[in-house]
Amino acid sequence: MISSHGQCHCGNISLDIQYPETIHSFTAGVCRCQFCRMHGAMWLGLPISQLQVQAELASQAHFYDDDLLGVRYLLCRHCGVLTSVFSEIENQTYAMVNAGVVNLPTHIKTDVFQYGPYPNLAGRLQIRKESWLSTVKFSRELDRLLKREEQMAQAQQDG
């Protein structure tokens, strides 16, 4: 396995992707949604890869929920960098990483394509299962933050 490291500008949020040595290219997708366009995000995903996400200070990390698209973005509160996007499908977390925060080896080629137009929800989820990183691990601190933010969102919905 080969490992590539990435991080936000200030280094608070770090990402480590592990992928087989046989990989010679990643596909970077440009999403057409307003949020991604405003952030200039280009997303890397490879289903046979693994992603480890950590934060030095979880209090400086923020998960932003986009309920319309069924995704959760991870941003650094300190430097403002959008690092990654996550989607829960059938109790499994799938992810893509902002290509701008990852240092890939020079022999890795990156092909760029544009997502969309989006199919219906079932089609969108199928695309995520087929092309997003499928093994995602959060540090204990980020996992706690994620659960706390989910509880707060549920409390707001309830009442």
Residue type, 148: R
In angstroms, rounded to a whole number, what is the distance separating the alpha carbons of residues 51 and 137? 6
Buried b (16+ CB within 10 A) or exposed e, 10-29: eebbbbbbebeeebeebebb
Residue 159: pLDDT above 80? Answer: no
In angstroms, rounded to a whole number, what is the distance separating the alpha carbons of residues 100 and 93? 22
The string of pLDDT tens digits covering residues 25-74 is: 777 788 878 888 889 888 888 777 899 999 999 999 999 988 777 899 99
In angstroms, rounded to a whole number, what is the distance separating the alpha carbons of residues 19 and 75? 24
- Rounded to a whole number of angstroms, the distance between the first and last alpha carbons of the chain is 47
Q: Which residue has the tokens 């992928």?
A: 19
Domains of the chain, by residue range, sit at 2-147
Nearest to 47 by CA among 126, 137, 108, 130: 130
Task: Copy the structure tokens of residue 25.
Answer: 């290219």
The string of pLDDT tens digits covering residues 113-153 is: 666 666 677 888 888 888 888 899 999 999 988 888 888 87
In angstroms, rounded to a whole number, what is the distance separating the alpha carbons of residues 40 and 140? 29
The architecture (CATH level 2) of 2-147 comes to Beta Complex (2.170)
In this prediction the pTM is 0.86
